[in-house]
Amino acid sequence: MSRYWSELARGLSPYVPGEQPRIAGLVKLNTNESPFGPSPKALEAVRAAADETLRLYPDPQSTRLREVLADYHGVAPEQVFVGNGSDEVLAHAFAGLLKQAGPLLYPDVTYSFYPVYCRLFGINYETVPLDAGMRVHTPDYLGRGGAIIIANPNAPTGIALSRRQIERLVAARPDIPVVIDEAYVDFGAETAISLVRDHPNLLVVQTMSKSRALAGLRVGYAIGDAALIEGLTRVKDSFNSYPLGRPAQAGAIAAIEDEAYFQQSRLAIIANRRALTTDLASLGFEVLPSSANFVFARHPGHSGHALAAALREQAVLVRHFSGPRVSDFLRITVGSSAELGRLTEALAATLAAPPPH
């Protein structure tokens, strides 16, 4: 604490990201990165951007990237917003759209950055409990609130709503902005992007960090009605004119254009998720039905905290959250087959060990 901090800085409760330790031989299944590298074409584009033109500012509007994303998703470039990772896109959406007179609604178990943004921007919010099966129950979002944000698939549960459920929700709340955070959508859920044409209150947020394997490049985006995008742009242009550097714009364009590589990667991850789910079940875990590149699983005989610690001892990193309803669980990224082999081996050893005395 310092006398020079603003009241705002004093009142913050910053987000704590998953660790990025530098330990040799570590099996890193804690931050939902892709086990496969990015598209080789994306890497080549980043390299090609590292030339003398780096002396020049990037295109502040990321025009070409927004055109490529618009083509890909069947919308107009004016319906696309890009930012420095989907976290920055979400931050601008909280400030520009979700800060309303009525409270913002979101699930009680979801991405733990949401309350952090609320604190930063002074947004009043109410959490809506998941149902007994850890599912988002959309009818609970009707009849109250000034805005809604839902992660779909939700994190850390991995459970997805159908497009039809999202459509009913946005249609039932035409008076307020609804943000669907689709960071994990490419691993088996239905995107709501096709709904933006008929629903000017809907903003869909996606990222290149997961299914495009570009977490290290920092590119996220949002798609919605042009007026929503203009609102985000106003916030962005009041914060940082040039959020995406030249290498980031170039790499993101090439990644979107490499459809074959994208499909191959995401299908391999879906296949690995199936195998991981089976392996965990045979070790006695309850595994929530995941549409993401991670699973959320608990063991009836062991606490989540103890299991995470035991895995860490064996150089396997998974994510454990404290807090009601989630502290029994581990969130485990779907890694490569080799990584998942190391995980199940370490888990089997832990479960077989006599309990600590």
For residues 327 and 305, is the Cβ–Cβ distance under 8 A? yes
Distance, in Å, from the CA atom of 202 to the CA atom of 139, rounded to the nearest integer, reads 17
Q: Which of residues 303-322 bind a second copy (CB under 8 A)?
A: none
Q: Which of residues 236-275 bind a second copy (CB under 8 A)?
A: 236-248, 251
Strands 178-181 and 147-151: parallel
Strand partners, 149: 179
Q: Which of residues 221-240 bind a second copy (CB under 8 A)?
A: 225, 227-228, 230-231, 233-240
Which is nearer to a second copy, 153 or 231 (by Cβ)? Answer: 231
Which is nearer to a second copy, 19 or 286 (by Cβ)? Answer: 19
Q: Exposed, middle or buried: residue 127 (CB in 10 Å: 0-12, 13-18, 19+)?
A: middle
Residue count, binding to a second copy (CB under 8 A): 90
| Nearest distance from C-beta of residue 181 to a second copy, angstroms | 15
| Residue of 293, 209, 278 whose CA lies nearest to 17 | 209
Which is nearer to a second copy, 96 or 280 (by Cβ)? Answer: 96
| Nearest distance from C-beta of residue 262 to a second copy, angstroms | 13
Q: Considering only 159-167, 188-196, 212-220, 266-274, which stretch makes contact with a second copy by CB under 8 A?
A: 212-220
Under 8 Å CB-to-CB from 357, ≥6 apart: which residues? none
| Residue of 153, 196, 179 whose CA lies nearest to 91 | 179
Q: Which of residues 160-189 bind a second copy (CB under 8 A)?
A: 176-177
Which is nearer to a second copy, 57 or 72 (by Cβ)? Answer: 57
Which is nearer to a second copy, 84 or 350 (by Cβ)? Answer: 84
Which position among 119, 137, 168, 305 is part of the footprint of a second copy (CB under 8 A)?
A: 119
SS3 340: helix
| Residue of 160, 151, 147 whose CA lies nearest to 204 | 151
Under 8 Å CB-to-CB from 235, ≥6 apart: which residues? 92, 95, 96
| Nearest distance from C-beta of residue 257 to a second copy, angstroms | 16
Q: Which of residues 82-111 bind a second copy (CB under 8 A)?
A: 84-85, 87-88, 91, 95-100
Which is nearer to a second copy, 15 or 306 (by Cβ)? Answer: 15
Q: Which of residues 35-64 bind a second copy (CB under 8 A)?
A: 35-38, 42-44, 46-47, 49-60
Under 8 Å CB-to-CB from 282, ≥6 apart: which residues? none
